[in-house]
A = this chain, B = another copy of it.
Amino acid sequence: MTVKQLTLPELADACGVLGVRNVGLWREPVQRYGVEAAAKLVRDAGLTVTTLCRGGFLTALDAEARARALDDNRRAVDEAATLGTDTLVLVSGGLPPGSKDLYGARERIADALAELGPYAESHGVRLAIEPLHPMYAADRCVVSTLTQALDLAERFPAHQVGVTVDTYHVWWDDRAPEQIARAGASGRIHTFQLADWTTPLPEGVLNGRGQIGDGSIDMREWKGYVEAAGYTGAIEVELFNDPLWARDGREVLEETAARFVEHVMR
């Protein structure tokens, strides 16, 4: 998503040029390209798919909308399995129209996970609940903290349901470090994503995720937390950022790799 201006073949090629061996994919470009074809493309390029983003949106009150969401999530599991990744990231969904009941919405997510967890397991896929920043609680994700995400995940086996740790969403939360330790202790850190916090936030607050090093988040500090919790998986950089999307994708990918080396690896 960081370089969504690139087609999948351009992305695979650019990764090869830079020596990037892992890539997180989003469903929409994969579906447009064809899931089987995308799987072959990344396989042939020697790329490992770290995660597929995203399933979720599991908070509907209406029975029909709920059934559609479950169907769509089963398809997302199938796509993840075809791509060869073991992790499907879930953005849980916001409040249904007219509802003010955050608690009820969270319980409906748990109900959905009880159906989706075993389905995912049978396809070799783990679900990774992503707590989103509290500014998305109404319209995108009623799961706002790692604490809430783990309270949900721990109702299920770790190989079915874990969490996504994304610096952009948790950096402000002084409880997050201890919750990362909690997640690690039960093997539930299913992926670790980076974006920096920059201000002012843009209208709608969706596409303001800052390039690594441009904002207020100490990336090494958060890498330290997940490593101390036993995480050894890939680290994803996930930027939604209109100015970055308006630039040449290969240049943005190169810049992002350089920032990663400077602010995360060193």
A residues at B contact (CB < 8 Å)? 95, 99-103, 133-135, 137-139, 144-145, 148, 171-174, 197, 199-205, 215-218, 221
The answer to whether A173 and B135 have CB atoms under 8 Å apart is: no
What are the nearest 10 A-B pairs in CB distance? A137-B172, A134-B172, A203-B203, A135-B135, A138-B216, A200-B204, A100-B218, A139-B199, A201-B205, A134-B134
Least CB distance, A230 to chain B, in whole angstroms: 24
Q: Which residue of chain B is the closest to A205 with respect to CB atoms?
A: B201
Name the contact of A133 in the complex, choosing from B135, B174, B215, B216 (C-beta under 8 A): B135
Could you tell me if B203 and A200 are in contact, using CB atoms closer than 8 angstroms?
yes
CA distance A174 to B145 in the complex (A): 10
B172 and A216: CB pair below 8 A? no
Contact residues in B for A173 (Cβ distance below 8 Å):
134, 144
Copies in the complex: 2
Cα distance A7–B173 in the bound complex, in angstroms: 39
Chain B contacts for A205, CB-based, 8 A? 135, 200-201, 205
Q: Which residues of B contact A204 (CB under 8 A)?
A: 199-201
- What's the least CB distance linking A159 to chain B, in Å? 27
Given contacts A148-B174, A201-B205, A204-B201, contact A138 B215 (CB under 8 A): yes
Return chain B residues, CB-CB under 8 Å to A172.
102, 134, 137, 144
Q: Cβ of A101: which chain B residues have Cβ within 8 Å of it?
A: 218
Bound-state Cα–Cα, A186 to B201, Å: 36
CB distance from A113 to the nearest CB of B (A): 18
Known: A199-B139, A201-B204. A100 touches B216 (CB 8 A): yes
Given contacts A202-B203, A204-B201, contact A174 B102 (CB under 8 A): yes
